[in-house]
């Protein structure tokens, strides 16, 4: 066996890795080392052919393996001899490509069973086609089973079958990119491990958390329901969404097959030009300022400009942020900062939700979000690999729990009138009922018009969303403009209870009364007269 001094691996161009390999070949029964430098988006491949399975498993877990992968974009794969020869006998393209004689950087002259590849593309072509057709044949069998279950209405079985089909796709993605499948691991872990090699896979699965996914969680629930003979999971609307995710994996496999075919056929590596789609660059200076300001305060994944209107001399921009951990207070501060930086000449309406929250609530709000989350409205994205949402198809719009939003609004209006109409002119607490009514009205009105229930935003943001929901509501702007004081700051101030005497006079109360009357009439017409709730339901 060669000594430490004589061994050299100049092709690596990596002194740290060279030193490790010198130690390995002196301490373990290393048979061969293959290295292929890949100058494209793919990882360079370092395959270490070793005699014992126990050594291969132990060495694969070393910290330096992860280090060189992350730092140097070199994927290290330890494979023991019997397994390597078995995979080669199965005509696996990964082995055929990355264990070519041209990739050999070390061979133990004393080893009795090195891998030697002598075939060229013309001879290997038939074997490659057999390997590829095996995937297509078995995939079709899986796919047929899924669609048979869909036609039979077996909800839980559909999702568990889809889980098996996606696991089958991951088997091939792992074999074609990593040379080894990890079928014993949960789907979440397998998807996460593939991201480093195949960033596009992030586009097809919405995260529940840092390392978990919405669809894989659904598969687990369906499996548990089937085992425990529980009620079926009624998520028929997600069949198409799961199908889209699965088809996307299928397409990635097709692309990898085509890529490997070209590489094997050419016998060399050509640099791949990676096109990175860039969101439409908006030249509006105000929007540039808005994005810059938002990103200093919020770790946004994406920002959508979904609406803008001009009223008088003021432009209002409607922005939706997909981000984690941005509550109402932060949005209020951010809105004020944007107004300040633009000289008070522009208004901004900000809404923000996490990707997982949007996905989880699509059953109720999909029509609202599907209108906004479109490429033409995207003005910022932190990555090109954010997942598409698993849209429910068909999606049936309905006003779930409208009663629980409309009923409190009418009750608050009633309490307001009880105090406002007192002959003793005792208006204690009226300003708080007025503020609460306005908040309740806006949220209910927006929900009726758009199927979206906003958070407890500032009063002005809620009113601007009402105008977005239906511009006709702007006809009541004159009441806001004629209010005896600044309307929206007044409301926001009284969203929080304060222990003090009321100083309202009758004229001020009358203005409030007119606003509540007109807005309640508007809401009553929408909800009751248009038949969204039956008359007896709101009593």
Give residue 535's pLDDT: 55
Q: pLDDT value at position 474?
A: 93
The two tokens of residue 174 are 């792992």
Contact 391, 243 (CB under 8 A): no
Chosen domain end from 107, 133, 156: 107
Per-residue pLDDT, 232: 62
pLDDT of residue 90: 86
4-13, 64-73, 415-424, 455-464, range with the lowest pLDDT:
4-13
pLDDT at 400 over 90: no
CATH code (residue 39): 3.30.300
pLDDT for residue 5: 44
Q: What confidence tens digit (pLDDT) does each residue in 3-62 have?
A: 444 578 888 888 899 999 999 998 999 999 999 987 666 789 999 999 999 999 999 999
- Is residue 355 domain-shared with residue 423, that is, in the same domain? no
Region 266-280 average pLDDT: 43
CA distance 311 to 512: 24
Mean pLDDT for 497-517 is: 81
Residue 276 domain-assigned (yes or no): no
For the segment 517-534, the average pLDDT, to the nearest whole number, is: 87
Question: 79-85 long-range contacts, Cβ below 8 Å, gap at least 24?
Answer: 79/47, 79/48, 79/49, 79/50, 79/179, 79/180, 80/50, 80/51, 80/52, 80/53, 80/55, 80/56, 81/31, 81/49, 81/50, 81/51, 81/113, 82/53, 83/53, 83/56, 84/49, 84/115, 85/113, 85/115
Are both 149 and 255 inside the same structural domain?
Answer: yes
Per the omega criterion (within 30 degrees of 0), is the bond before 243 cis? no
259 lies in some domain:
yes
The region of weakest confidence among 37-51, 120-134, 297-311 is 37-51
Identify whether the C-beta of residue 352 lies closer than 8 Å to the C-beta of residue 321.
Answer: yes
Is 209 among the domain residues?
yes
Both 145 and 249 in a single domain?
yes
How large is the average pLDDT for residues 180-205?
Answer: 92
User: How does residue 103 score in pLDDT terms, banded at 50, 70 and 90?
Assistant: very high
On whether both 103 and 128 belong to a single domain, the answer is: no
- In 260-313 the beta strands, taken as DSSP E runs, fall at 300-311
Q: What is the pLDDT at residue 231? A: 65
User: Would 397 be classed as within a structural domain?
Assistant: no
Is 322 found in the same domain as 235?
no
Q: Of 236, 266, 296, which closes a domain?
A: 266
Arithmetic mean of pLDDT, 290-316:
92
pLDDT of residue 217: 92
Asked if residue 344 and residue 253 are part of one domain, the reply reads: no
pLDDT for 68: 92
Q: Six-digit token pair at 457?
A: 């935003």
In the predicted model, is pLDDT for residue 504 greater than 90? Answer: no
Residue 112 lies in a domain: no
Q: Is 4 among the domain residues? A: no
pLDDT of residue 529: 82
User: Quick one: 126 and 177 in the same domain?
Assistant: yes
- Residue 275 clears pLDDT 50, i.e. is over it: no
Asked if 449 and 500 sit in the same domain, the reply is yes
- 185, 252: one domain: yes
The residue from 350, 381, 412 where one domain ends is 381
Q: Are residues 58 and 142 in the same domain?
A: no
Whether 257 and 125 share a structural domain: yes
| Percent of the chain residues past pLDDT 70, beyond the cut | 92
pLDDT reading at 129 higher than 80: yes
Q: What is the mean pLDDT of the chain?
A: 88
Backbone angles phi, psi at 312, to 5 degrees: 70, -125
pLDDT at 233: 67
* Orientation of helix 214-227 relative to helix 187-195, angle to 10°: 160
388 in a structural domain = no
Cβ neighbours for 415, distance < 8 A, ≥ 6 positions apart: 433
Are 447 and 519 in the same domain? yes
Q: Please report, for the domain that includes residue 336, its CATH number.
A: 3.30.300.90
Q: Using an 8 Å Cβ cutoff, are 197 and 43 in contact? A: yes
Residue range 139-143: average pLDDT? 93
pLDDT higher than 70, residue 507: yes
Domain that holds residue 49: 15-107
Total domains present in the chain: 4
* Residue 501 reports pLDDT greater than 90: no
Query: Does residue 116 lie within any of the structural domains?
Result: no
Q: Angle at CA 97, nearest 5°, toward 91 and 103? A: 135
Share of the chain above pLDDT 90, in %: 63
């Amino acid at each position: 066996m060669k000594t430490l001094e004589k061994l050299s691996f100049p092709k690596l161009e990596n002194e740290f890795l060279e030193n490790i390999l010198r130690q390995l070949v002196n301490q373990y029964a290393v048979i061969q080392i293959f290295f292929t430098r890949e100058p494209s988006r793919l990882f360079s491949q370092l395959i270490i052919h070793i005699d014992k399975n126990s050594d291969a498993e132990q060495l694969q877990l070393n910290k330096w393996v992860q280090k060189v992968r992350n730092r140097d974009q070199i994927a290290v794969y330890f494979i023991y001899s019997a397994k390597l020869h078995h995979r080669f006998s199965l005509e696996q393209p990964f082995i055929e490509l990355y264990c070519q004689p041209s990739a050999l950087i070390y061979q133990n002259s004393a080893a009795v069973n090195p891998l030697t590849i002598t075939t060229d593309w013309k001879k290997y072509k038939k074997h490659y086609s057999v390997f590829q057709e095996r995937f297509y044949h078995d995939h079709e069998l899986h796919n047929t089973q899924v669609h048979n279950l869909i036609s039979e209405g077996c909800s839980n079985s559909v999702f568990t079958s889809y889980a098996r089909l996606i696991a089958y796709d991951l088997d091939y993605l792992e074999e074609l990119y990593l040379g080894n499948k990890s079928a014993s691991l949960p789907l979440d872990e397998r998807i996460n491990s593939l991201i480093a090699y195949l960033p596009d896979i992030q586009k097809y699965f919405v995260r529940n958390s840092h390392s978990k996914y919405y669809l894989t969680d659904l598969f687990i629930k369906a499996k548990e329901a089937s085992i425990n003979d529980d009620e079926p999971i009624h998520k028929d609307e997600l069949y198409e969404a799961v199908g889209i995710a699965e088809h996307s994996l299928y397409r990635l496999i097709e692309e990898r097959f085509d890529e490997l075919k070209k590489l094997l056929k050419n016998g060399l590596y050509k640099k791949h030009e990676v096109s990175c789609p860039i969101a439409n660059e908006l030249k509006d200076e105000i929007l540039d300022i808005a994005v810059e300001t938002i990103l200093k305060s919020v770790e946004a994944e994406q920002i959508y400009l979904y609406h803008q209107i001009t009223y008088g001399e003021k432009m209002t921009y409607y922005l939706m942020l997909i981000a984690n951990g941005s509550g109402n207070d932060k949005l209020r501060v951010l809105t004020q900062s944007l107004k300040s930086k633009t000289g008070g000449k522009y208004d901004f309406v900000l809404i923000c939700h996490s990707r997982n929250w949007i996905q989880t609530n699509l059953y109720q709000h999909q029509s609202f979000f599907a209108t906004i989350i479109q490429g033409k409205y995207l003005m910022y994205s932190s990555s090109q690999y954010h997942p598409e949402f698993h849209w429910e198809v068909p999606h049936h719009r309905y006003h779930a729990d409208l009663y629980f939003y409309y009923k409190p609004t009418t009750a608050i209006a009633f309490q307001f009138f009880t105090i406002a109409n007192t002959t003793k002119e005792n208006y204690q607490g009226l300003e708080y009922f007025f503020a609460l009514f306005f908040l309740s009205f806006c949220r209910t009105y927006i929900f009726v018009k758009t199927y979206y229930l906003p958070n407890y935003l500032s009063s002005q943001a809620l009113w601007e969303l009402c105008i977005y929901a239906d511009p006709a509501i702007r006809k009541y702007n004159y009441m806001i403009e004629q209010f005896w004081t600044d309307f929206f700051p007044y409301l926001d101030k009284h969203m929080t209870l304060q222990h003090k005497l009321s100083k309202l006079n009758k004229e001020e109360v009358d203005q409030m009364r007119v606003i509540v009357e007109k807005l309640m009439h508007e809401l009553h017409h929408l909800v009751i007269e248009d038949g969204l709730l039956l008359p007896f339901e709101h009593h």
